[in-house]
Amino acid sequence: MSKKGPPKHQNKFAWNPTGSRKINETEPGGRFRPFPEITGVCLRCKNQIEWKRKYGKYKPLVEPAKCQKCSKRAVRQACLNLCPGCAKEQGVCAKCCSRVDQIVGRNPAEVEAEQKMLEEAIKNARERERRTLLRAMNKDKAKPKGEQANTPTIQEGKVEGLFSAVSLEEYAELSRDNEDDDDDEGDEDNVKVCN
């Protein structure tokens, strides 16, 4: 005879898988080495992976696993069966291999390209703007998932609220132009001093 319905007594607090042992911050899942973003899966599979991470059942891969389609060692996230290339090519979830309309996350190549653009913008920015941008990024990372405030952050490849430029490319171009103008003005000052 199986009982149906909610449990008789609700837990006062959620179970913590690392409650009885000290957490090493340098191990995967720690503060200094967080788990990678979940990408290339359907919403149902994303929720399953998040549950595994939350309750200590997620074991990250030490070395890349084999893809079930192309047999290459290109699967870099635990619990996935297909590499990102095969999953994107066939339009399926990388974990359950079912066709879905919406895939969660972004392509790692897009993320890497955006990271390079961001580094370029930071490199070309003035010190004050660079520190403001880095502070906003670190503040956004430090907040828990439920407390995302309306602070200036980087979302979908755009810098919002920090700079006058709409995108990172425009900001990089503006900062390059400003550096060229500053160099020209410095040359004129040197000419005036010499005369």
Q: Which of 18-22, 24-28, 141-145, 172-176 has the lowest mean pLDDT?
A: 141-145
Mean pLDDT of 129-156: 63
Domain boundary (49, 76, 105) is at 105
12 inside domain = no
138 inside domain = yes
pLDDT of residue 65: 95
31 inside domain = yes
Reduced to 3 states (helix: H, G, I; strand: E, B; else coil), residue 104 is: strand
With pLDDT > 70 as the criterion, what percentage of the chain qualifies? 69
Tens of pLDDT, residue by residue over 97-125, are: 999 888 887 666 777 888 888 888 888 88
- How many C-beta atoms lie closer than 10 Å to residue 176's C-beta? 12
Domain limits at 81?
Answer: 20-105
Task: Say whether both 92 and 120 belong to one domain.
Answer: no
Mean pLDDT of 36-65: 91
Task: Say whether both 96 and 134 belong to one domain.
Answer: no
pLDDT classification of 63: cutoffs 50, 70, 90: very high
Average per-residue pLDDT for the chain: 76
pLDDT of residue 159: 45
Number of domains in the chain: 2
pLDDT of residue 79: 93
* Residue 72 falls in which region: left (phi positive, over 0), alpha (psi -120 to 50) or beta: beta
Q: Find how far residue 122's CA is from the centre of its chain.
A: 17
Tens of pLDDT, residue by residue over 83-95, are: 988 998 898 999 9
Q: Find how far residue 112's CA is from the centre of its chain.
A: 10
